[in-house]
Structure formats: C-alpha cells, structure tokens
Structure 1
Amino acid sequence: MKIDKFVLAIIIIVLLAYLFPQLGAKESNIPLDLIGSIGIALIFFFYGLKLHPDKIKNGLKNWKLHILVQLATFLLFPILVLLFKPFITSDNQEMIWLAFLFLAALPSTVSSSVVMVSIANGNIPAAIFNASISGLIGIVITPLWMELFLQQTTTEFDLGTIYIKLATEILLPVILGIILQRYLGKYAAKYNKQLTLFDKSIILLIIYKSFSESFEGKVFTSVKIMDLILIFTVDMVLFFVVYSLIGFLSRKLQFNKEDQITAQFCGTKKSLVHGTVFSKILFPSTISIGIILLPLMLFHAFQIFIISILASKLGTRGKV
C-alpha cells in the first residue's frame, strides 16, 4: 500500500512547524489567521457549488441507510467516548479526552468517503448524499456536543458567538454556493482536482498555524511517546468498534451489500477538513489546538489506510 500523499503532507507540515514555529506564532507578521478564514469561506463556497439539489432530493429515498450513518456519526461515536469520562483523573487526561470527544462529534468526510465507496462497489449516490448532508448537520451538532463539556473547562465558550462565526465562515458560503450551483456548478465539476488541492492547502496552513503555536508554547512537552501510542491505539479501537457495530446493524436492517458498504465507510469516517476549521472557531485561545487536533490527525491517517485496504478487497468480490 502506498502512503496517502495528503497524510505525508501533514507529516511534513508538522515537521516544518516544529523546525520553524516563528512563522506561525501569534507574534508573526504573516496574517495566517486572516488567510485561513478567507480560505475556509472559499472551501465551503466551493462545497456548495458541488451540491446539486436534485441529488439531495433523490438521496432522501434511502432513509434507513441515512439515519444509520448519521446516528453512528453524531451519536454512537460520542457515546463511546463518553464511556471513558469517569476514568479521567488529571488535567492532561482531560485535555486528551476532550480532543477525542471533538473527534467523535465531527461530521463524516466527503471526498474520501465517496472515493472509497466507489472502489468497493458500494452505493455511490447514497455515499454522496450522506457525506454531503453530514457536513451540514455537523455545523449545528458538533458545537452542541462541545458546549456540554467546554463550558466546564473554560469561561470563553460562547455558543452564540460560535454560531455567528460558523454562519459567516461556513453556512453562508455553502448557501451562496448552492444558490449559484446552476450557474457555476459545471465549473466546480470541471476544476474539481484544482479545488481539492486548494482545500487541502488551506487545511495544511491551519495545521501549520496550530502546531506552530503549540511548539512555540512548548505544549507537547507533556505528551510522551507512550501517550502517542495510547492515542493511536484508542483511535484504532474506536474505528473498529464503530465499523463492527454498523455492520451488525446493517445486517439486522437487511441492507444489501452495496448499502452495507456505504453505511460502514461513511459512518466511520471523520472529516479533517471540518475538524481543522471547527477547532479554529470552537476552541478559545486558552486551549492548545495542536493537542486537540492530534487524535483527529492520527485517526485520519489510520482511516485512510485501513479503508483503502478494505475498499480494494471488497472491490474485487465476484471477480475472477
């Protein structure tokens, strides 16, 4: 298996943030925050351009599949993480647990979900619908989940202010994109590769900014190698538990193989795009974004790797 280029780019960016943290530090003259905010708005504007209203309408028909995917994404994941809350005994553990809750509350990723479902010969229209609608639901649900516990750790969490930021940087650009879809949608489809490259570039910029500040503030001195191994292990366990539970429920609901693949692939994915964007908006300056993004980035790398293997294997079923 080849290493995913985006995962490799993330590793390089984190290394650059470690070697040259001053460029992304708060005292830097380079306005990375402003560039990131404009980039985020453009990402979700282009996202709206790709959402064809007819596809959304047609996608509503397979409602059992959609409900299962969205419940797994926004309810099953957080509940599994909440089970570990009673075992938290220190501030360091509390921060890592909060990072896992953030991971669990995020929507599904769009592009890789659809690509992997396609490789595995799953239900592609349903994958497109679920991955797309998940991003919109996440704008509302993810902040609500985080509000329950961020208010306990900081006084800076203001849900009203957060929703205003989400509306101006994410929701309004999406709505504007959907409105202009009939005029500009063909260009979004034509230049999809270039837009995907732009998306990833903005995400890498936000990751660089987040980790630069963390390295500058020596935040990761409290994270030992055993902590990283533990975080990655929990990521793997979380993924396989959700993947197995969705598979079990899919069989109980008598889904065909294509729908089961779509449910498992879309229901286990977590969006690094939304994660980096939401972390920039949801978390106050008193919380290290680098620590918050750590479980998500490890999960992202693992999910791409393991889903690629599963998709390749499932895609060859029935072939000689």
Structure 2
Amino acid sequence: MAALLGTVTLAALLPATGRGATVAGGAADVAITLLFFLYGARLSTGEAVAGLRQWRLHLAVGASTFVLFPLLGLAARATVPFLLTGPLWTGLLFLCVVPSTVQSSIALTSTAKGNVPAAICAGTYSSLVGMAATPLLAAWLIGSTVSFSADGLLTIATQLLAPFLAGQVLRRWIGGFVGRHRGVLGRLDRLSILLVVYTAFSRGVAEGVWRQLTPLRLLALLCLAGALLALALCTTALAGRRLGFRREDRVTLVFCGSNKSLATGLPMAAVLFGASAGPVILPLMLFHQVQLMVCAVIANRWSVAARLTAVDGVEVEPEDRVIVDRAVRDP
C-alpha cells in the first residue's frame, strides 16, 4: 500500500514525459510480459486438474466474479455524472470484470480456517478464465474505449497469453527454480506492477486527467468501492448457505468470490486501454486496498470463531462462536 501511494505521488510530481515516457512505456510492456510468464511458470497444472472435483464451488466463485460483479458495475452507471465521471465509471466497470486474486484469497482463507486447496484452485481457474473473459467482457460492456480491434487482439495474445503459455510449457524445467526463489520473484512482481502504475499515472498527469478528480469524487469512488465489496461479501455468504456448502467451503467462496486481482488487472488495463489507462486503474487500486483491510478483519474474526467447534455437545455456527464463547467464560 505504501509503495502504491509512493508511486502515485512520484508520478504526480515527476511524471514520465517525452522520451522518458517512451522508455517507461517500453519497460512496462516488458514487465507485463515477464509478469504473465512467471504466472504460467508458477501454475501447477496438476493442482488445477485435481480441483475439478469441487466444481460446484468453483462455478459459484466464477458466477460471483464474472456475473454478479459486472451486473453491480452496470448498476453503478446511475451515479454518472452526479458522483462519478465517465472515465471513473469505466474504471469501476473494468474492476468488475477482473478475475479473482490468488495470493490474498489463499492467505485470507488460510487465516479463517477455510478450504485452502479449494482456494488455490478457485484462484487458478479464475485467472485462467479471466485471460479470455476479462477482455471479452470489457469490450462488450465498456465498448469503444477498449482497444479490442485486430491489433488489440494481437497485443493481448503476444503480451498476455503467449508468455503465460510459454511459462506453462517451460514449467517442467524452471518450476523448481521459480519455487526456490519465490521471494525474489515476488518482489519482481511488485516492481512490475509499480512500473505499470507509474506509467499509467504519468500519462494521466501529462494529459491533465487528474485535474478533473475532485476530493468529493474520490470520496464517492471510495464509498462505491466499499459498497461493491459489501454486496459481494453478503451475496457470497448467503449463496454458500443456500447451496449447502460446508463451513470451510463457504469461507473459500466468500473470499475468492469477493476479491479482485490487482496483479492481473493492472497489466490488463494497460494493454486494453493504452494511453487512457490512468483513470481506469484508480477504482481497482482503491478497491484492492479496501478488500485487503476489510477481509483481513473478517478472516481474523472467523479464525477466532473456528476455535470453538461445539458448546455442551451442540454444534454452533462459526459466526456465532465468539459470542457463545464469551458467554461461557463470562455468563
């Protein structure tokens, strides 16, 4: 979070212009290619195939990610121009078609004592489906703003899909190296994302886009991001109960179905929106910070609740266990 804020501040004070913008843009393209190559090299095909046994859970996660969220994004159109500008709503709608995150969903599910293997598979499937679904949904829902011509398709194929497939093919030889150096490569991931953010925000500064962003609109965007997350959390929690999932699977559905991937979304936005990506990535960045803070609180609370499995031989719902535990200790 600090690095993202620092990068945005740097872009505002020292934006890349002229030849510097060309160099930064080229470096960002290389970083995006490397990022998706590493995604492919990390992805365990065996784990992905093994996870097919829980297809109902994965379908529920996919429905939340690629059906519920886009519908909520379309409904947010009613806030334009009273709360949001057109470009900010475009960014909010793009956020709604981005796949689920992998790393944070797994961490949150693990903290909350959920089904971690299912979370790994759910995040993996979401990323794989998102390679095709995100550009298609963005082109369909957003329209002419998205670079989805023949050149746009070629760019997506060469910058996103081809490196990912190359990583999968070479995983047999480099998978061990990638696993052993996960920490170093993770920092490389973050540097790549920061470079994409710096390039996109620099373009926005050069074009005067950020002068249109008033504090009131920024606050409205933050509130809408929070409302979007709240609706997704409530809907996935309710759906998990209605579908009869076990407690561990409900935890997985809530976190995987409500989170969005900054690491995948930012490079995709840079490819799809090109020079106009600046205001488009802002809603995704804000949503990502909100989801981390809110979901971390929920995960910690559920972790404590999971420690009490039953009271006096009667099974207690996980969400109620903290209250019951306190009542037992302090009648």
Measured in 2, the distance between the counterparts of 1:228 and 1:29 equals 26
Q: 2:233 aligns with which of 224, 240, 243?
A: 243
Q: 1:304 aligns with which of 285, 292, 315?
A: 292
In the alignment, is residue 292 of structure 1 matched against residue 280 of structure 2? yes
Q: 2:171 aligns with which of 181, 191, 209?
A: 181
Q: 2:93 aligns with which of 93, 101, 111?
A: 101
> Which segment is superposed worse, 44-53 or 234-243?
44-53
Aligned partners of 1:47 and 1:174 also within 8 Å: yes
> Residue 314 of structure 1 corresponds to which residue in structure 2?
302
1:258-302 Cα offsets, whole Å, 9 max, x none, are 1111111011111111221111111143x3x22111111110111
Shift in CA distance, 314/90, structure 1 to aligned 2, threshold 3 Å: closer
Measured in 1, the distance between the counterparts of 2:7 and 2:178 equals 27
Measured in 2, the distance between the counterparts of 1:142 and 1:104 equals 9
Q: 1:208 aligns with which of 198, 201, 205?
A: 198
> Residue 317 of structure 2 corresponds to which residue in structure 1?
none
Measured in 1, the distance between the counterparts of 2:172 and 2:249 equals 29
Q: AA paired with 1:291?
A: P
Give the deviation of 1:16 after TM superposition: 0.9
Measured in 2, the distance between the counterparts of 1:295 and 1:313 equals 27
Measured in 2, the distance between the counterparts of 1:91 and 1:252 equals 35
Shift in CA distance, 112/87, structure 1 to aligned 2, threshold 3 Å: closer
Give the deviation of 1:86 after TM superposition: 4.7
Shift in CA distance, 29/260, structure 1 to aligned 2, threshold 3 Å: closer
In the alignment, is residue 49 of structure 1 matched against residue 37 of structure 2? no
Aligned partners of 1:26 and 1:213 also within 8 Å: no
Q: AA paired with 1:210?
A: A
In the alignment, is residue 231 of structure 1 matched against residue 250 of structure 2? no
> Residue 4 of structure 1 corresponds to which residue in structure 2?
none
Q: Percent identity?
A: 31
Q: Give unpaired runs (5+ residues) of structure 2.
A: 309-331
1:8-54 Cα offsets, whole Å, 9 max, x none, are 11001111111111xx2244266112211121111111111111121
Q: AA paired with 2:20?
A: S
Measured in 1, the distance between the counterparts of 2:292 and 2:81 equals 32
The within-5 A match list for 1:78-93 is 78-86=70-78, 88-89=80-81, 93=85
TM-score with structure 1 setting the length: 0.91
Aligned partners of 1:88 and 1:94 also within 8 Å: yes
Give the deviation of 1:184 after TM superposition: 1.5
Measured in 1, the distance between the counterparts of 2:95 and 2:273 equals 13
Which has more radius of gyration? Answer: 2
Give the deviation of 1:79 after TM superposition: 0.4
Measured in 1, the distance between the counterparts of 2:245 and 2:131 equals 29
In the alignment, is residue 191 of structure 1 matched against residue 181 of structure 2? yes
Shift in CA distance, 256/296, structure 1 to aligned 2, threshold 3 Å: same
Q: Give unpaired runs (5+ residues) of structure 1.
A: 1-6
Shift in CA distance, 318/281, structure 1 to aligned 2, threshold 3 Å: closer
Aligned partners of 2:84 and 2:220 also within 8 Å: no
Count of equivalent residues: 308
Measured in 2, the distance between the counterparts of 1:67 and 1:161 equals 32
Give the deviation of 1:160 after TM superposition: 2.9
Give the deviation of 1:316 after TM superposition: 2.1
The within-5 A match list for 1:275-290 is 275-285=265-275, 287=276, 289-290=277-278
The within-5 A match list for 1:147-166 is 147-152=139-144, 154=145, 157-166=147-156
Q: Give RMSD over aligned pairs.
A: 1.9
